[in-house]
Structure 1
């Protein structure tokens, strides 16, 4: 019966697929068949009208995309819009937290099934620094809320073992890793969302448990913490940076000049940068013992990163003391009662013990003071040296040499930036500024110099 039914269906398909060229022959055949077998013709007509039922496997095959033609006759692309374009379309002019939330709301309302949510979350993670929400915990919780709930939860131990829905779990772990990179501690809402999405045994929940274990342990272990929001005042920022570099409670921060705007006699407006320096009593003691015949150097600028802010500082230093001039002073046993500064231990050594250690001890020379300024010019640094001379009279007897580079644009003077090509000095030429005995002021060259290397 099944074979006969299949043959009958093939005959019906042949009848339907015949062209107009063979219509007369088919009419004759149908006429003969109607006279001999009327019942057979009746069944054949019924079989032609019946629909052809396909297998369920055919329904799972990807559908062929349809081509739409607009009024101009051009084909329209019906593919999904990329997630980056969605952020650009919704937030065209202003990129803030409100616009970011609006983009997420637009995606959630587009489709109830949240199709393409993994690609959207990856795109959102990349766009977060542009919107300034990379450190906002509420935004991360909102991104986790994009996942469909109770869909990716494993139902048995086999699904748990074989990483149920791996692509979605990897996306959830990526969200937590970005939170970890920015130092954001998850809260209870984050845990509830992950349990609803992936279950208690999912990889994102395990990642959350590790974060909640380690973050409280390392939260207050940094002995030199940096505030989350740095000060916008350059003087306060310089004071904080110099205190962080020196790491000496006895060091004194001195503000030699505040940023201000002055008007000259000719009516020209001049902006004076800030000059902030720091020096400790031990550095003053080292500078007082310095040999006046050996010069001191002003070097810089050297970068210092505070979170995403980069500041620059200058140092006043000298060359290492020659071995023949070094004088070893005995340690004062009463200088520190808790930690001894010298240990005299007679330990019995074996023949296999080495008497010498391969330790490279590099002496870079003493550092006498440090400063930060808003403009890396020699004239501005001379003001710092003049201020140091009040508490360090030996600077009036020591030659001061400048080894300063151009530095970034923030440290370049206005006059230097305008006449960069006209007043650029040769790196080999060196100018010398010496401070004579009894002089409280430092001689400054008339022409502003921006040399690379040593300025004598």
Structure 2
């Protein structure tokens, strides 16, 4: 079925199930029901249903009625199908990052979905699409999908002059059965002061025995008692300042990305930018210097095989 491209087609599975004769395999007593009446035929349809489940094909009412007419309500395929009909829609709609059932074929549209999904950790994330043809001296004529929030711009503006930031990638994100490569702009994690480290090691945040409140005539909290909650972008291994997906995944397209970021992040011109090949975030594939032949969409998208 996969060879002919019908392994995710519900109608093709219905045609296969409809081959079996109706009524012949329905058990007529408790012994036939218990000892799996016509085991080979029942196992055959169970295997078909297993393949449907593996390929994410959810059965409908017509499929249920077909299996019911062939094996009866006590048949093992009927029980298997009804478990699928109960659980598969639940898991299908469980993800908070909903995707269209059919992923578009355009690399640009896939990049938009990926950046939107990764940026959903911060509701204020803004997605921008740049064209490198708008820049002078840009070698690659391609698009760049950028994701950055106002909070990330503030973090970038607070970095000290000559501080090093890293362009890392390519990392891979999967959207259903399609993958695409993305890059990040990262700075080193902010080290804790000695007082903060001491407070983190000694203070028990679950201890509520010494809570103070002005309503009971007690003194107000001092400044050192106030702990600023770090943003979602500030992680232990670094601060994520921006994410991007380029059409070619080349180093020139990443340079163009940095030049576009400088327009909204002036402090970026005062920083040292390093294109890193080693990252604490995981395995990194370096950006290529030129375009590679395009690969099949289900293997890689983004224009290069990294």
Q: Tell me how far apart the structure 2 counterparts of residues 292 and 413 of structure 1 sit (CA, whole Å).
A: 32
Aligned residue number for residue 83 of structure 2? 210
- After TM superposition, list the pairs within 5 Å mapping 1:168-247 onto structure 2: 168-247=41-120
Aligned residue number for residue 298 of structure 1? 167
Query: What root-mean-square deviation, in Å, do the aligned CA atoms of Structure 1 and Structure 2 show?
Result: 3.0
TM-score when normalising by structure 1? 0.51
Alignment deviations for residues 3-60 of structure 1 (CA, whole Å, 9 cap, x no partner): xxxxxxxxxxxxxxxxxxxxxxxxxxxxxxxxxxxxxxxxxxxxxxxxxxxxxxxxxx
Alignment deviations for residues 72-128 of structure 1 (CA, whole Å, 9 cap, x no partner): xxxxxxxxxxxxxxxxxxxxxxxxxxxxxxxxxxxxxxxxxxxxxxxxxxxxxxxx1
Structure 1 pair 258–179 and aligned structure 2 pair: CA distance change class (3 A): farther
Q: Tell me how far apart the structure 2 counterparts of residues 326 and 385 of structure 1 sit (CA, whole Å).
A: 36
Q: Give unpaired runs (5+ residues) of structure 1.
A: 1-127, 265-269, 329-342, 349-361, 418-451
Task: Give yes or no for the alignment of 1:403 onto 2:276.
Answer: yes
Q: Is the 8 A contact 2:140 2:252 kept in 1?
A: no
Match of 2:157 among 258, 277, 288: 288
Alignment deviations for residues 346-382 of structure 1 (CA, whole Å, 9 cap, x no partner): 248xxxxxxxxxxxxx711101001101222222211
Aligned residue number for residue 8 of structure 1? none
**Alignment length, in residue pairs?**
254
Q: Tell me how far apart the structure 2 counterparts of residues 379 and 253 of structure 1 sit (CA, whole Å).
A: 21
Q: Is the 8 A contact 1:375 1:412 kept in 2?
A: no
Match of 2:192 among 289, 314, 323: 323
Q: Which has the larger radius of gyration?
A: 1
Task: Give yes or no for the alignment of 1:160 onto 2:29.
Answer: no
Match of 1:377 among 247, 250, 263: 250
Shift of 1:323: 2.9
Shift of 1:180: 2.0
Aligned residue number for residue 277 of structure 1? 146
Shift of 1:202: 0.5
Q: Is the 8 A contact 1:376 1:407 kept in 2?
A: no
Q: Tell me how far apart the structure 2 counterparts of residues 324 and 184 of structure 1 sit (CA, whole Å).
A: 54
Q: Is the 8 A contact 1:295 1:399 kept in 2?
A: yes
Match of 1:308 among 152, 174, 177: 177
Alignment deviations for residues 189-213 of structure 1 (CA, whole Å, 9 cap, x no partner): 2122212221221001111221222
Shift of 1:158: 1.3
Q: Is the 8 A contact 1:300 1:313 kept in 2?
A: yes
Task: Give yes or no for the alignment of 1:363 onto 2:236.
Answer: yes
Q: Tell me how far apart the structure 2 counterparts of residues 344 and 206 of structure 1 sit (CA, whole Å).
A: 48
Aligned residue number for residue 346 of structure 1? 208
Structure 1 pair 173–235 and aligned structure 2 pair: CA distance change class (3 A): same
Alignment deviations for residues 416-454 of structure 1 (CA, whole Å, 9 cap, x no partner): 88xxxxxxxxxxxxxxxxxxxxxxxxxxxxxxxxxx9xx
Structure 1 pair 365–210 and aligned structure 2 pair: CA distance change class (3 A): same
Q: Is the 8 A contact 1:257 1:276 kept in 2?
A: no
Aligned residue number for residue 340 of structure 1? none
Match of 1:136 among 1, 5, 9: 9
Q: Is the 8 A contact 1:304 1:312 kept in 2?
A: yes
Q: Is the 8 A contact 2:252 2:289 kept in 1?
A: no
Shift of 1:258: 6.2
Q: Is the 8 A contact 2:132 2:256 kept in 1?
A: no
